[in-house]
């Protein structure tokens, strides 16, 4: 028990030292080091953005970046346009307008309140991941990118195929900053294949 606390505190302490609100920033940092998904991107949507570490990381490393964040929790000192809302209540067109009609990348670190039941948590997490994917499909420009947190489990291959339907390349990564007991990892969709029948 003490070992887990020490591990947790080390990442949290490192985040605080670097001026971030949460250690989750190191998961995005590792994704960027491995695959450079943020490179060349300027207009971002951060789903489940509280407490704001991912958005702060993006704007700190790209001074030309514009970010729209969405979360039902309040976020203080957000480095962009923030909407306190659930994703299903958010109009994608408003987000596209805020970003000048172009969205380069959608990121989602959303997660449910876990129950301890692995199957239940897996299913609830994929429900959020599906909402994130639907939102990304509705706003991304052709060639855009998508990062989403998922919980591993029996339905993960089906979700992978749903992402693959919309992106030319799909990669996965379990960052080092993930708890040893966690089943979470991240999917990265590259080169969004815009559906001609979708929103212009």
Residue 88 CA to residue 55 CA, distance in Å, equals 20
Of 65, 27, 17, the C-alpha closest to 48 is: 27
Strand partners, 76: none
What the chain holds in terms of domains, given with CATH numbers, is: 22-80+87-192 (3.40.50.150)
* Burial class (CB within 10 angstroms; exposed 0-12, middle 13-18, buried 19+) of 152: middle
Kindly name the residue from 149, 164, 165, 193 that is annotated as catalytic. 149
More confident residue, 1 or 50: 50
**Overall average pLDDT of the 16-25 stretch:** 66
Checking if the pLDDT of 7 tops 60, the result is no
For residues 47 and 107, is the Cβ–Cβ distance under 8 A?
A: yes
**Assessment of whether the complete model's pTM goes beyond 0.95:** no
Tens of pLDDT, residues 139-156: 999 999 999 999 998 999
For residues 46 and 107, is the Cβ–Cβ distance under 8 A?
A: yes
Is 149 known to be catalytic?
Answer: yes
For residues 145 and 105, is the Cβ–Cβ distance under 8 A?
A: yes
Give the tokens for residue 136.
């990304």
Backbone angles phi, psi at 147, to 5 degrees: -125, 130
Largest Cα separation within the chain, whole Å, is: 54
Checking if the pLDDT of 9 tops 70, the result is no
Tens of pLDDT, residues 74-90: 998 999 999 999 999 99
* Cis peptide bond prior to 33, omega within 30° of 0: no
Checking if the pLDDT of 8 tops 80, the result is no
Q: How many beta carbons lie within 10 A of that of residue 90, not counting itself?
A: 17
Residue 177 CA to residue 12 CA, distance in Å, equals 10
For residues 80 and 101, is the Cβ–Cβ distance under 8 A?
A: no
Strand partners, 106: 45, 146
């Amino acid at each position: 028990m003490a070992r887990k606390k020490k591990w947790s505190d080390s990442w949290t302490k490192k985040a605080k030292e670097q001026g971030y609100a949460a250690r989750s920033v190191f998961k995005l940092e590792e994704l960027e080091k491995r695959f450079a998904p943020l490179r060349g991107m300027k207009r971002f949507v951060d789903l489940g953005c509280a407490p704001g570490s991912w958005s702060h990381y993006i704007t700190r490393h790209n001074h030309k970046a514009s970010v729209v964040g969405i979360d039902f929790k309040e976020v203080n000192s957000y480095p962009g346009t923030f909407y306190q809302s659930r994703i299903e209540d958010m109009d994608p067109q408003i987000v596209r307008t805020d970003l000048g009609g172009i969205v380069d990348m959608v990121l989602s670190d959303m997660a449910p309140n876990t129950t301890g039941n692995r199957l239940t948590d897996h299913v609830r997490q994929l429900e959020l991941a599906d909402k994130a994917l639907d939102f990304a499909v509705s706003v991304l420009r052709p060639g855009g990118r998508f990062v989403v947190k998922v919980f591993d489990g029996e339905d993960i291959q089906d979700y992978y195929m749903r992402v693959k339907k919309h992106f030319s390349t799909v990669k996965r990564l379990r960052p080092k900053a993930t708890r040893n007991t966690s089943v979470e990892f991240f999917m990265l969709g590259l080169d969004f294949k815009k559906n001609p029948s979708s929103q212009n």
